[in-house]
Structure 1
Amino acid sequence: MADNNSGFFANPLVKWIEYRLPVFSTLDHMVGTQYPTPKNLNYWWNFGSLAGLCLVIQIVTGIVLVMHYTPHTSMAFDSVEHIMRDVNYGWLLRYMHANGASMFFIAVYIHIFRGLYYGSYKAPRELLWFLGLIIFLLMMATAFMGYVLPWGQMSFWGATVITNLFSAIPLVGEPIVTWLWGGFSVDNPTLNRFFSLHYLLPFVIVGVVLLHILALHQHGSNNPLGIDTKGPQDRIPFHPYYTIKDAVGVGAFLIFFSFFLFYAPNMLGHPDNYIPANPLVTPEHIVPEWYFLPFYAILRSVPDKLGGVLLMFGAILILFLLPWLDTSKVRSAKFRPIYKQLYVIFLIVCVGLTWAGGKPAEGYYLIIARVCTVYYFAHFLILLPVVGWFEKPLKLPASISEAVLKGDAAPAGKA
């Protein structure tokens, strides 16, 4: 570990600041040489830091865009066109913000599925998992309200459809919808409320992210083997080993991001949103952004409106119960042969829901959505608890160091 009296900390200016405000030593303990990390983390662990990078991109570009945006129904669409055409590099900022939302969700979805595979939700990291899910919910709310701001056709009708869902709630549904709208239809008060909350929520996300990091540092990172570190031989400093690894991930991510930014900026959007909002003309097929499609498919797979709403929200809330629904004592799927197969099926089901959510709610699209919805809930409520009881996991290595020295290969023996 680094000595605070040498190297960087020996700089007179750094020492002067550190004595009065210990910011550098705090950072060193959080993401530096003083933060011990399991020595076997792979590139799937990069997506937490990539999600943080996406959050910074969204906040910075959003602050600049808001300088030129007008939150009024008669001027919002034109102000977005003004940004695209008249503001210096406005097109770049707008495309970075719009595609950055998709990149953010890609990073977070991979981060979540990595947690599902390696059992990062299990004790003692339950609160870490819960805080991550809260970040995900805040992201969804922020993204939905941001999609309304351009005030195009899909913005207007998406807001109308989604906010109307709350009317299905008995007794309080209608008052909630009226409060969300700020009146009796989606109009200027709605746009103003969504604009205000869209600007506020990213800073709330930053606060929850800090709590997420604090919870992470309490017990340290999980690892691909899912076993606890046994001592210093199982750990290495976060810096420089994982900062370099993260830098490689950032480089690959920026190449991926740049492809959409410069060559396909509208691929992940909807062409109807380049038409000004018209309450008198309903689009032929109303769809949300791609990252909402799995939940939209679940919503539409139920004939009853209230049932669809409950299932849609239940699809996310059920993840909060995961630490108790998974009855296996082994964290990592590397040592769980049956769960590993179920995980692959679950992944295919989630892709199927995303695909079905973007199609009309009719014919075999609806059948596929219903089958995938049934499996989605069965995976958590039936398969996970049952498999954890009878599955025979493979033998776990004695320590991370032992597995690393042996090539990190999963033993073939039984526990």
Structure 2
Amino acid sequence: MTKLDELIQELCPDGVKYLPIPELFITRNGYTPSKANNEFWENGTIPWFRMEDIRENGRILTTATQYVSEKAVKGKLFPADSIIIATSATIGEHALIKVPSLANQRFTYLTLKDEFKDCVDMMFVFYYCFRLDEYCKSHLNQGNFASVDMKQFAAFKFPVPPLPVQREIVRILDNFTELTEGLNRELAAELTARKKQYEFYRDKLLTFDVLGKRTSKVVWRALGEVCDVVAGGTPSKKDTAYWEHGTIKWLGSTVCQNQKNIETVTAYITEKGLAESSTKLMGKGTTLVALVGATIGKVAFLPFEAAINQNIAGVYPKNIHELNPSYVYYACTLLYPKFLALTQGSKLAMANMSFVRSLKIPVPSLEVQNRIVFVLDNFNAICTDLSSGLPAEIEARQKQYEYYRDKLLTFKTMSN
């Protein structure tokens, strides 16, 4: 018998009380001070929480990414050790706030009433709020804007077992959380290390760096000299005949993620859309290079035929007996810094076709290219297996964690 079992048997053998939210908590909505009033935002000292804080810093928060001034406060601050839970927009996300604070209107605050402060541990409430998260997602108002039905929200009940039981559950879950997160960090670190190792050897192979000096045996040639380099286009979105029931894969620049194979398709177009627009159909083995946006300079390798939009350059050897298409892909990964240089001082920088055609890659003999491709394909496969396996491993551990958390937080209800 575990310590928790002993505590439950000793302190609450007949079950525990469940109390609805209004009986246990003071609830208030967050708000956004007027952005038009600079006095509300300049030199702010009061943390003002948004969903971005949870995404960036986790679920137990002491600092915010934005602060407001005292003039922005309506009435009183929400006290420390309050829970914020999203009841509109991104439903069912919560955090424990450890400092006096404000939050935006997407959140509802749960502040423990004074009469329960000696018998309720807020970390226990924090863990139980994972159940409240799921409850909120299934009790929404009907309408275009996602929001929780607040009458149903008020009906949600929290168990209130004796304080020693709560604290033992918190201790177990704290340890389990730390263990799970630690294992996930180790997995992520392993993947990062493998990727860095892969990039190191790739760069060494492709720059023909011998003892820190570039060998003179390799000729560096402009892409436009050895490859056909073309951009695509987008069929008019106003003509449904270009898009409805399309069967031709059509790709945007977001598919360029420096991964050799493409696993997603942006959209499908029709034969009419292909024939009557500036889009281009690229053959299998084409290297795609993003020309604009967050992915500028990143590449992908086509495992199938597909049309491309105007934000991609398709690169394919003019003579495959002299240049291996896979080698072109790997060589193009070295060009990323050249594209980044274009973005300095401009978020809207775009690489034109002349620029892409002017970029130089090393062109060794075909035999050497094939050996490099063999090595990098194998190394890439290892990294890909790790990348695909990591999310599955993390998800499995998360489900295991959630299963045991729910078991720990399930109590027999005390009969009246």
Give me the TM-score of the superposition, normalised by structure 2. 0.21
The structure whose residues are more often helix, as a share, is 1
Of structures 1 and 2, the one scoring higher in RCO (CA 8 A, sep 6+) is 1
Give me the TM-score of the superposition, normalised by structure 1. 0.21
